[in-house]
Structure 1
Amino acid sequence: MSRYIEAAPHEGDIRFTVGVHPDEHVSDHGLAPYYAMDSLLKDWGDRWKTEGKPTETIQFMGEEWATSFDYSKSGLDPWDYSDFQIEQVREFHFYFVATDSPHYSGKRADQDRRVRGGTITVRPRWPNLKSEGKPVSVPNYGAPYIDVQVQASNIPHEQYLTLVKRVMTAYGIAGRYFDQPHPDSHINDLAYYVRLFRGESGPLYAPDGPIARAHTLIQGDRSGYRKHVEDHTKIPGYYVTATVEDEKAGELIRGHTLGKELKHYYPNHPDEYDPDQAPHHPKFEVSYQTKRTEETVRWSDLEDARRELEETLLNCLEWCGLATTAESDAFVPFDSYWQLSNTHEARKLVKCPLPEIESEQEHRVMQLWGQMTDTDRDVTELLLTDGGKISPKDAAERTGNTYRTIRTVIDRMEGLIRHTYGEMELESKKIQQELLKRVRAAGDRFEQSIESATMDLADAADDRLPSAWARLRREYAISQVDGENCRKLLKVGYQPSDEVEAREILREIKTMYCQHVEPDIYGVHVVMRLADGSRRRWRNLRNAFQKSVERHRELERQNERAREMFDFEAWMDAGCPPADEWGSGG
Structure 2
Amino acid sequence: MKTVTLAPHEFHANLLYNSDGLAPFFACDSEVKSAGGAKLAQFQHDGEQWRARLSYQSSNIVHPGETTPQGTDWQLKEMREYRIRVFRDPDVDHAGQQDFTAHVAPRWEGMRGEKDSGGTVEIPVPDGFGEGVNVRVKGSNIAFERYVPLLCEAATVLGINGRYFEEPHQFSNVQDAERYARIHKDASGPVHARDGPIASMGHLLESDRQGYRKIVQNDDDEHGQNVPGYYHTATLDTRRVREAFPDHRLPKEVKHYYAREAASLPDDDPLAHPKVGASLQVSLLDDDDTVRWSDTDRLRRELDQTVLSVLADAGLDVAPGSGSGPFVEDAYFEPEVDHSGPDPIGIDLTRVRQSQESVVVRHVADGLAPTQWEALETLVTDGGEVSPDDIADQHGRHVESVRRALREMEDLVHRKYADVSLRSEHIAGLVHDAVSEAREATRRATETVGKALEAAERGMGETMSAFIAWAARHGVDVDDAQDARLRLRFGPEVENPDKAIREGFDVWTDAGLPEERYRQAKVRFPNGAFGDAWRSLR
Give TM-score, length-normalised by structure 2: 0.78
The answer to whether 1:377 aligns with 2:359 is no
Distance 1:34 1:441, change over 3 A: same
Name 1:439's counterpart in structure 2. 435
Deviation at 1:242, TM superposition (A): 0.6
The answer to whether 1:154 aligns with 2:141 is yes
Residue identity in the other structure for 1:248: R
Count how many residue pairs are aligned between Structure 1 and Structure 2. 456
CA contact 2:202–2:214 (8 Å) conserved in 1: yes
2:63 to 78, 82, 95: 78
Residue identity in the other structure for 1:77: V
- 2:442 & 2:212 partners in 1: Cα distance? 33
The answer to whether 1:274 aligns with 2:266 is yes
- 1:447 & 1:356 partners in 2: Cα distance? 35
The answer to whether 1:258 aligns with 2:253 is no
Name 2:361's counterpart in structure 1. 366
1:1-40 paired onto structure 2 within 5 Å: 2-19=1-18, 28-40=19-31
Distance 1:343 1:150, change over 3 A: farther
- Range moving further from structure 2, 328-337 or 124-133: 328-337
Name 1:557's counterpart in structure 2. none
Residue identity in the other structure for 1:433: G
CA contact 1:101–1:116 (8 Å) conserved in 2: no
- 1:447 & 1:102 partners in 2: Cα distance? 76
Deviation at 1:137, TM superposition (A): 2.9
**Counterpart of 1:445 in 2: which secondary structure?**
helix
Residue deviations 1:120-143 (CA, integer Å, cap 9, x gap): 111211011112344233323351
**Counterpart of 2:110 in 1: which secondary structure?**
coil
CA contact 1:478–1:492 (8 Å) conserved in 2: no
The answer to whether 1:120 aligns with 2:102 is yes
Runs of 4+ in 1 over 4 A off after TM superposition: 100-105, 446-449, 477-485, 487-490, 523-527, 537-540
The answer to whether 1:296 aligns with 2:290 is yes
The answer to whether 1:316 aligns with 2:341 is no
Distance 1:440 1:526, change over 3 A: farther
Residue identity in the other structure for 1:121: H
Residue identity in the other structure for 1:491: G
Residue identity in the other structure for 2:111: L
1:462-501 paired onto structure 2 within 5 Å: 479=475, 490-492=490-492
Deviation at 1:300, TM superposition (A): 1.3
Name 1:457's counterpart in structure 2. none
- 2:61 & 2:30 partners in 1: Cα distance? 19
Residue identity in the other structure for 2:52: T
CA contact 2:32–2:39 (8 Å) conserved in 1: no
Distance 1:400 1:137, change over 3 A: farther
Residue identity in the other structure for 2:28: M
The answer to whether 1:283 aligns with 2:278 is no
Residue identity in the other structure for 1:322: L
CA contact 1:57–1:66 (8 Å) conserved in 2: yes
1:212-251 paired onto structure 2 within 5 Å: 212-233=199-220, 234-251=226-243
Distance 1:260 1:231, change over 3 A: same
**Identity value in percent:** 30
**Counterpart of 1:285 in 2: which secondary structure?**
strand
- 2:524 & 2:199 partners in 1: Cα distance? 33
2:395 to 367, 392, 399: 399
- 2:387 & 2:162 partners in 1: Cα distance? 57
- 1:243 & 1:329 partners in 2: Cα distance? 29
Residue identity in the other structure for 1:17: L
CA contact 1:69–1:93 (8 Å) conserved in 2: yes
CA contact 2:387–2:418 (8 Å) conserved in 1: yes
Distance 1:358 1:479, change over 3 A: farther
- 1:40 & 1:129 partners in 2: Cα distance? 24
- 2:241 & 2:126 partners in 1: Cα distance? 29
Distance 1:236 1:490, change over 3 A: farther
- 2:347 & 2:168 partners in 1: Cα distance? 39
Residue identity in the other structure for 2:492: V
Residue identity in the other structure for 2:4: I
- 1:276 & 1:363 partners in 2: Cα distance? 47
1:331 to 305, 326, 333: 326
- 2:346 & 2:121 partners in 1: Cα distance? 54
The answer to whether 1:88 aligns with 2:78 is yes
Residue identity in the other structure for 1:97: F
**Counterpart of 2:415 in 1: which secondary structure?**
strand
Distance 1:118 1:388, change over 3 A: same
Residue identity in the other structure for 2:413: I
- 1:447 & 1:101 partners in 2: Cα distance? 76
Residue identity in the other structure for 2:103: T
Name 2:51's counterpart in structure 1. 66
